[in-house]
Amino acid sequence: MTAEPAEVRRGRKYDQVVAGAREVFMRDGFEGASVDEIARAAGVSKATLYSYFPDKRLLFMEMATLECARQADEALTTIDQSQPPRVVLPQVAQTFLSFILSETGQRIFRICVAEADRFPDLGRRFYQSGPMLMRDAVTRYMQASMARGELCIDDLDLAADQFTELCKADLWIRTVFGIRDSFEEAEIARVVDGAVETFLARYSA
């Protein structure tokens, strides 16, 4: 007989528990975070915590998903389907970079990579709750821009991925390897401007 999968329960102290989990996971990582410490940070009993989240993996996945979704929602609000690429693409790039270069974004990424073998759902949930939403939104915008005759693209998925990678140039790799933990606005603007110009040189109609 197959055991029923564990499920998250939402209730009066749900937000409180997630906030405590975020504090501890961001500070100690997945492996280093203890349920006792999370309960203390959330101001709830261990029994209450387990009544909402039956295991630590589910709690981390919920916290990471919510954080990524929040950032994705912020990015989506910057996309005005009626505006031209030179207006929209820099806004999308800035919002995207502000999350992936942030301490929260980096910690979530590193935890997902570190735990990918044991908990492959972590990586999938991370991707689906943030990067995939962002990619889909950019693709929809590009479709609208093509309909207005502003862009000429054969492969929308590839173009969206290329723009994302252009935005990460130099900054992302130095952050991942711990060479830099922050960048000046001018450094980010340089990469964003280069990404937009390179993309439009290839795909502008």
Please report, in tens digits, the pLDDT of each residue of the chain (205 residues total). Answer: 333 446 777 888 999 999 999 999 888 888 889 999 999 999 999 999 999 999 888 898 888 888 777 777 776 777 788 899 999 999 989 988 988 888 778 877 887 787 777 777 777 777 777 778 778 888 999 999 999 999 999 999 999 999 999 999 999 999 988 898 889 999 999 999 999 999 999 999 9
Q: What is the CATH number of the domain that holds 37?
A: 1.10.10.60
Q: Check whether residue 46 and residue 82 sit in a common domain.
A: no
* Alpha carbons 113 and 107: distance in angstroms, whole number: 10
Q: Check whether residue 49 and residue 68 sit in a common domain.
A: no
In a domain, 36, yes or no: yes
Q: Check whether residue 50 and residue 68 sit in a common domain.
A: no
> Under a CB-based contact definition with an 8 Å cutoff, are residues 116 and 125 in contact?
no
In a domain, 1, yes or no: no
Q: What is the CATH number of the domain that holds 149?
A: 1.10.357.10
Tokens encoding 53: 């989240």
In a domain, 59, yes or no: no
In a domain, 3, yes or no: no
At residue 34, the pLDDT reads 92
Sole residue written with tokens 């589910």: 58
Q: Check whether residue 82 and residue 30 sit in a common domain.
A: no
Q: Check whether residue 24 and residue 90 sit in a common domain.
A: no
The number of domains in the chain is 2
Q: Check whether residue 45 and residue 98 sit in a common domain.
A: no
Contacts of 195 (CB under 8 A, 6+ apart): 89, 93, 163, 166, 167, 169
In a domain, 150, yes or no: yes
In a domain, 186, yes or no: yes
Q: Check whether residue 175 and residue 78 sit in a common domain.
A: yes
Q: Check whether residue 69 and residue 50 sit in a common domain.
A: no
In a domain, 2, yes or no: no
In a domain, 125, yes or no: yes
Q: Check whether residue 37 and residue 122 sit in a common domain.
A: no
Q: Check whether residue 49 and residue 96 sit in a common domain.
A: no
Q: Check whether residue 119 and residue 196 sit in a common domain.
A: yes
Q: Check whether residue 20 and residue 91 sit in a common domain.
A: no
Nearest to 150 by CA among 62, 88, 108, 73: 88
Domain that holds residue 14: 8-54
What pTM does this model have?
0.78
Of 32, 54, 76, the residue that ends a domain is 54
Q: What is the DSSP string of the chain?
A: -PPPPP-----TTHHHHHHHHHHHHHHHHHHH--HHHHHHHHTS-HHHHHHH-SSHHHHHHHHHHHHHHHHHHHHHHT--TTS-HHHHHHHHHHHHHHHHTSHHHHHHHHHHHHTTTT-HHHHHHHHHHTHHHHHHHHHHHHHHHHHTTSB--S-HHHHHHHHHHHHHTTHHHHHHTTS-S---HHHHHHHHHHHHHHHHHHHB-
* Alpha carbons 84 and 48: distance in angstroms, whole number: 50
